[in-house]
Amino acid sequence: MFRIRIVELRNANNLTQQDVADALNMPRTTYAGYENTDKEPDYDTLVKIANFYKVTTDYLLGNEDNTNFIPPELLVYVNDVHPSLQRKFWDEVTEFAKYISNKYSSK
pLDDT at 15: 92
Task: Provide the 3-class DSSP secondary structure of residue 102.
Answer: helix
Model confidence at 66: pLDDT above 80: no
User: For the chain, how many residues are written?
Assistant: 107
pLDDT at 97: 86
CA distance 18 to 15: 8
Q: What's at 90, amino acid-wise?
A: W
Instruction: Check: pTM over 0.75? Answer yes or no.
Output: no
pLDDT at 71: 67
If phi over 0 gives left and psi between -120 and 50 gives alpha, with beta otherwise, what is residue 106? alpha
Assign domain 2-61 one CATH number from 1.10.260.40, 3.30.450.20, 3.20.20.70, 3.40.50.2020.
Answer: 1.10.260.40
